């Protein structure tokens, strides 16, 4: 793409969330975001609560249409019952005990359904949250009206009769009759309203509880009902239970089928010269897809930036500047970007090389901490990639093990590729509206965040040196320097506490290497290595630096046995995910 070509505008699936890595896991042990360890990956939900914005929009449209149907259906039935009652042709017998209340209760449901239907018609773009509130209002109103009808029917004194069983028969009949509205409400809720299993279970449980509570309250008030409570309760509970089973099963299957159809539709779509094959993962900034160039038949990864983060002109300028800067990086250990553009929905994308192999995070957690010589071998490659970026005025700001892929290229193993340079901070532009610390940009990952970044101060190349020290600590110890149960505590530790020595967790690390890492983790930027090249020279001077090379790496991979995860502490730790600012741009 030429410098003056601007953005390519083409159709693509709606953007969702962006995985932080572009990699097929080897071997595929868990269905997680590609390259992320299953303990830290953002799971892909199978229901409307998914992080995917596109699927959420699909659910929003479906929910609106279904609410239109339920409001119309309930309104027609309620209005019909009220009209027939006013014409002295009430469908509910007077013996049921709610004859005088039929018109009022029916009009309540009719009014609520009509108002809801008109609001849905008036606001076709109502948000998913607003529609969920409308769903709650409708079915809560229906539940309350049904509960009131049951309580009235079970507490109204029936007409006098010489038959001693008359009262019992009338109350049992009333219990069955007043079960119908809630029975059908449960069926409607499960079959028509798109919900996850948990949400449908919650809604159905509430709808079932209302008639049971109304029956119990009536038994307290009416001695005849209290005497027949044991007989009335099963005639209420059993039909409701069967309706609940149907509702929950239908809701679960409906969402699963909706997800399958949605994914199949998206995978069939074309994005310019690329055919989308499979979604690989999602994260805080959007989603990443496996694709194939239609003519070259070359696999690649397409990373989409969420539409809501790309809705401002300033964001568009920054994105274009960032990608152009990254495409200028040619270091062997930096992931290559082939193309970029803007889709017709306003979201951005860029196309990068597709890499096979585990992330550093997965490699360490599957196979245990690395040999010191291997850690130096990998770190030197990262230093080379950073040195080129820093010389171009760019700071990565989000160095972490899940942004480092260990792949094989040209028959050589243990090749490092550094990802997510599309989210860097560029110091080559000083205009205030181009600063990458504005809304929708990366703030960093708490476990691997340098003190100045944690404190909200400007970050330069020495901040990446600190982050690389955290990554080196993870390579050797199987954990970052600091661990805590919340992001706030982690940030506080980076700001105030001295980093622990590598020897605290692993005594066999050579002292010179431990000293290099300790200098990287100095609190003050001036106390660290000042450039990535300086750090690479220090690593080269370590006694173990020549003990690992491409031949040793090839032998290690050939002899690799079944992965065994290293022992971990039992504390609950926060995942190593990137924090993103979502406020609106000014």
Q: What rounded mean pLDDT belongs to the chain?
A: 77
Query: Mean of the pLDDT values across residues 15-20?
Result: 34
Looking at residue 117, its pLDDT comes to 93
Looking at residue 420, its pLDDT comes to 76
Confidence of residue 10 (pLDDT cuts 50, 70, 90): very low
**Does residue 383 carry a pLDDT above 90?**
yes
Q: Which two tokens stand for residue 84?
A: 């027939």
Indicate the range of 14-18, 493-497, 527-531 predicted with least confidence: 14-18
Helices (H), 123-228: 128-155, 166-177, 179-192, 197-221, 223-227
In a domain, 77, yes or no: yes
- Structural domain count of the chain: 2
- Specify whether 374 is located in the same domain as 248: no
Q: Across the strands, what pairs with 579?
A: 444
- Specify whether 380 is located in the same domain as 510: yes
Q: Write down the catalytic residue from 339, 361, 366, 398.
A: 398
This prediction has a pTM of: 0.56
Q: Which residue has the higher pLDDT, 534 or 214?
A: 534
pLDDT digits (tens, 9 = 90+) for 56-99: 777 888 889 999 999 999 989 888 888 887 777 666 655 555 66
Four-point Cα dihedral 204, 205, 208, 212, nearest 10: -170
- Name which of 540, 539, 387 is nearest 461 in CA terms: 387
Which long-range CB contacts under 8 A does 338-343 form with residues at least 24 apart?
338/300, 339/1, 339/8, 340/1, 340/7, 340/8, 341/1, 341/7, 341/8, 341/9, 341/10, 341/272, 342/7, 342/8, 342/9, 342/310, 342/316, 343/9, 343/10, 343/11, 343/12, 343/15, 343/271, 343/304
Residue 160 contacts by C-beta under 8 Å, 6 or more apart in sequence? none
What is the rounded CA–CA span in Å between residue 191 and residue 194? 8
Indicate the range of 7-11, 321-325, 378-382, 528-532 predicted with least confidence: 7-11
Residue with tokens 């000014």: 586
- Specify whether 385 is located in the same domain as 511: yes
Which of 243, 264, 285 finishes a domain? 264
Which of 246, 264, 282 finishes a domain? 264
pLDDT digits (tens, 9 = 90+) for 494-517: 999 999 999 999 999 999 999 999
CATH number (domain holding residue 480): 1.10.510.10
In a domain, 410, yes or no: yes
**Does residue 467 carry a pLDDT above 90?**
yes
Q: For residue 257, is it left (φ>0), alpha (ψ between -120 and 50) or beta?
A: alpha
SS3 335: coil
Highest mean pLDDT: which range of 270-284, 397-411, 558-572: 397-411
Query: Mean of the pLDDT values across residues 20-34?
Result: 35
Residues of the chain with pLDDT > 70, as a percent, come to 72
Pairing of strands 23-24, 355-356: parallel
Indicate the range of 25-39, 285-299, 313-327 predicted with least confidence: 25-39
Indicate the range of 41-50, 88-97, 437-446, 465-474 predicted with least confidence: 41-50
- What is the sign, positive or negative, of the torsion defined by CA atoms of 455, 460, 462, 463? positive
Q: Are 92 and 98 in contact (CB under 8 A)?
A: yes
Confidence of residue 173 (pLDDT cuts 50, 70, 90): confident
In a domain, 300, yes or no: no
| Residue 2 burial (C-beta neighbours within 10 Å; 0-12, 13-18, 19+) | exposed
Looking at residue 289, its pLDDT comes to 84
Which residue spans within 286-391 are E strands per DSSP? 286-293, 299-305, 337-343, 348-353, 355-356
What is the rounded CA–CA span in Å between residue 531 and residue 542? 17
- Specify whether 251 is located in the same domain as 378: no
Indicate the range of 425-429, 430-434, 551-555 predicted with least confidence: 430-434
DSSP 168-191: HHHHHHHHHHTHHHHHHHHHHHHH
- Specify whether 259 is located in the same domain as 374: no
Helices (H), 410-510: 451-454, 461-477, 487-496
Query: Mean of the pLDDT values across residues 157-174?
Result: 67
- Specify whether 371 is located in the same domain as 251: no
Confidence of residue 19 (pLDDT cuts 50, 70, 90): very low
Which of 213, 229, 264 finishes a domain? 264
- Active-site residue flag, 460: no
CB atoms within 10 A of CB 582: 10
- Name which of 467, 46, 33, 58 is nearest 286 in CA terms: 33
- Specify whether 253 is located in the same domain as 369: no
Confidence of residue 36 (pLDDT cuts 50, 70, 90): very low
Q: Across the strands, what pairs with 119?
A: none
In a domain, 242, yes or no: yes
- Specify whether 66 is located in the same domain as 210: yes
Query: Mean of the pLDDT values across residues 532-542?
Result: 95
In a domain, 327, yes or no: no
Domain that includes residue 101, residue range: 53-264
In a domain, 309, yes or no: no
In a domain, 105, yes or no: yes
What is the rounded CA–CA span in Å between residue 405 and residue 387? 18
- Specify whether 368 is located in the same domain as 500: yes
Confidence of residue 41 (pLDDT cuts 50, 70, 90): very low
In a domain, 326, yes or no: no
- Specify whether 424 is located in the same domain as 571: yes
What is the rounded CA–CA span in Å between residue 218 and residue 223? 9
- Specify whether 259 is located in the same domain as 370: no
Q: Are 16 and 307 in contact (CB under 8 A)?
A: no
Could you give the count of Cα atoms lying within 13 Å of 447 in the half-sphere of its Cβ?
Answer: 22
**Does residue 153 carry a pLDDT above 60?**
yes
């Amino acid at each position: 793409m030429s410098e003056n070509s601007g953005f390519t505008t083409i159709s693509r699936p709606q953007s969702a969330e962006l995985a932080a890595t572009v990699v097929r896991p080897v071997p595929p042990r868990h269905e997680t975001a590609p390259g992320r360890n299953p303990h830290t990956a953002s799971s892909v939900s199978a229901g409307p609560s998914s992080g995917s914005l596109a699927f959420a929009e699909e659910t929003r449209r479906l929910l609106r249409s279904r609410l239109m149907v339920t409001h119309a259906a309930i309104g027609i039935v309620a209005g019909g019952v009220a009209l027939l009652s006013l014409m002295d042709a009430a469908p509910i017998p007077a013996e049921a005990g709610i004859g005088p209340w039929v018109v009022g209760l029916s009009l309540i449901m009719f009014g609520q359904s009509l108002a809801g239907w008109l609001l849905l018609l008036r606001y076709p773009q109502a948000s998913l949250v607003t529609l969920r509130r409308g769903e709650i209002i409708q079915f809560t109103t229906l539940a309350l009206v049904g509960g009131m009808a049951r309580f009235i029917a079970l507490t109204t004194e029936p007409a006098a009769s010489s038959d001693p069983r008359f009262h019992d028969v009338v109350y049992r009949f009333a219990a069955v009759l007043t079960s119908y509205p809630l029975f059908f409400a449960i069926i409607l809720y499960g079959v028509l309203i798109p919900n996850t299993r948990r949400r449908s279970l919650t809604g159905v449980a509430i709808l079932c509880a209302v008639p049971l509570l109304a029956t119990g309250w009536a038994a307290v008030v009416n001695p005849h009902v209290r005497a027949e409570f044991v007989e009335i309760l099963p005639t209420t509970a059993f039909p409701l239970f069967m309706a609940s089973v149907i509702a929950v099963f239908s809701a679960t299957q409906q969402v699963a089928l909706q997800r399958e159809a949605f994914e199949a539709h998206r995978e069939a779509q074309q994005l310019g010269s690329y055919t989308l094959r499979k979604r690989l993962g999602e994260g805080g900034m959007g989603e990443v897809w496996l694709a194939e160039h239609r003519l070259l038949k070359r696999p690649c990864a397409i990373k989409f930036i969420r539409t809501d983060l790309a809705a401002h002109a300033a964001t568009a300028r920054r994105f274009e500047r960032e990608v152009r800067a990254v495409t200028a990086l040619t270091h062997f250990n930096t992931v290559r970007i082939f193309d970029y553009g803007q889709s017709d929905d306003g979201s951005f994308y860029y196309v990068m090389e597709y890499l096979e192999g585990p992330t550093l995070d997965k490699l360490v957690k599957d196979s245990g901490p690395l040999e010191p010589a291997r850690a130096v071998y990998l770190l030197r490659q990262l230093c080379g990639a950073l040195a080129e970026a820093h010389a171009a005025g760019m700071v990565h700001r989000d160095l972490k093990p899940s942004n480092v892929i260990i792949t094989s290229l040209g028959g050589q193993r243990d090749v490092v590729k550094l990802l997510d340079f599309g989210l860097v901070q560029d110091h080559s532009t000083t205009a205030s509206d181009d600063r990458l610390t504005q809304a929708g940009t990366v703030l960093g990952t708490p476990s691997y965040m340098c003190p100045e970044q944690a404190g909200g101060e400007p970050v330069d190349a020495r901040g990446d040196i600190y982050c690389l020290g955290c990554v080196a600590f993870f390579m050797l110890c199987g954990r970052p320097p600091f661990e805590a149960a919340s992001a706030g505590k982690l940030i506080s530790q980076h700001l105030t506490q001295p980093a622990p020595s590598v020897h605290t967790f692993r005594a066999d690390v050579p002292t010179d290497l431990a000293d290099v890492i300790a200098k990287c983790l100095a609190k003050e930027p001036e106390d660290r290595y000042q450039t990535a090249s300086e750090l690479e020279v220090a690593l080269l001077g370590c006694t173990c630096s020549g003990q690992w090379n491409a031949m040793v790496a090839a032998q290690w991979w050939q002899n690799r046995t079944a992965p065994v995860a290293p022992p971990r502490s039992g504390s609950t730790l926060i995942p190593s995910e990137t924090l993103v600012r979502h406020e609106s741009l000014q």
